[in-house]
Amino acid sequence: MNAARKKSAAAPAPAAKRKRATVGRPRKAAGSIDATKRILDAAEELFSKHGFDAVTMRAVAALANVDAALAHYYFDTKKGLFEAVLDRRAGVVFAERMAALDRYEARFGDAVEVEGAVAAFLLPLLEQANKGDEGWRHYFRLIAHVNNAPGGGGPSEKAYFDPVVHKLIGVIKRALPDARVEDLYWCFMFLTGSLTLALSRTGRIDRLSGGICHSDDLELLAPRMVKYCTAGFKSVCVPSRATRSK
């Protein structure tokens, strides 16, 4: 009898252990999508302003008005959160730019020109930056950070940005068949440097120009950048007569 009572009393122990094991791990509730969005929005803003190293998960959680444990639950680490921020909008701009380049090449075939290729590469991004909300503004500033950081943006950059760059180089090579491949990539680096500064919208040109130019005026900037980058590709990549004669 005593043995039976002891066995009965001990029976609930495994269930109690299982219950304790789950304490402290948040469950996804109906508001999890909203919480995830708030965390991503907060991280996007902070990363765009301060870079990766200076931002903490606790700071992100505070701005998102959630518990820090929730940020870790959904994204595991700061690196995981950073990559999620990059991924969230990257697919949109990747699809728009790749579609623009595909349409341009399909329409003109062997008659493609450098200016058309550069426009197809730049304009979807600049238009999105111009019409987008504050979140998009933070995202493009973050991209500018990533573009200038050693190592780049990791998986997101390789998945969403590198293929578009290779597509651009391929179309321009079709327009300039005699161009050396290394010159094409150097020119792309100069193009992306200009684009990065434009997306940062620092306001420096406002001060330097005495208010004649405004870094927020992407509609005026876009056609000028297309012409500027087009001229650069042509100047560097088209062999001069002296070079051809050697």
Of the ranges 89-103, 107-121, 177-191, 231-245, which one carries the lowest mean pLDDT score?
Answer: 231-245
Pick from 226, 225, 203, 228: which is nearest to 214 by CA?
Answer: 203
Distance, in Å, from the CA atom of 21 to the CA atom of 245, rounded to the nearest integer, reads 78
pLDDT at 23: 34
Domain assignment present for 45: no
pLDDT 10s digits, 153-163: 567 667 778 89
Give the domain extent around 203: 88-239
CB 139 within 8 A of CB 89: yes
Q: Specify the amino acid at residue 188.
A: F
pLDDT at 189 over 70: yes
Gyration radius of the chain's alpha carbons: 26
> For residue 150, is pLDDT > 80?
no
Which residues are within 8 A (CB) of 116 and not within 5 positions of it... i.e. 6 or more apart? 104, 108
Cα–Cα distance between 62 and 84 in angstroms, integer?
18
CB of 89 within 8 A of CB of 57?
no
Distance from C-alpha of 58 to C-alpha of 66, rounded to nearest angstrom: 9
pLDDT at position 145 is 84
The answer to whether position 71 is within a domain reads no
Say if residues 200 and 141 touch (Cβ distance below 8 Å): yes
Mean of the per-residue pLDDT values for the chain? Answer: 85
Please indicate, yes or no, if residue 170 is contained in any of the structural domains: yes
Q: Cα separations (Å) of 241 from 177, 217, 229, 245, 246?
A: 15, 39, 22, 6, 9
Instruction: Tell me, yes or no, whether 229 lies in a domain.
Output: yes
Q: Is the pLDDT of residue 5 over 60?
A: no
Q: How many domains does the chain have?
A: 1
Identify whether 64 is part of a domain.
no
CATH value at residue 145: 1.10.357.10
- Please tell me the predicted confidence (pLDDT) of residue 6: 43
pLDDT in tens, 54-67: 999 999 999 999 99
Residue 56 lies in a domain: no
Q: Does 13 map to a domain?
A: no
Which pLDDT does position 151 carry in this prediction?
66
The predicted model scores a pTM of: 0.79
Residue with more model confidence, 23 or 125 = 125
92 in any annotated domain: yes
- Helix axis angle for 162-175 and 114-131, nearest 10°, is 150
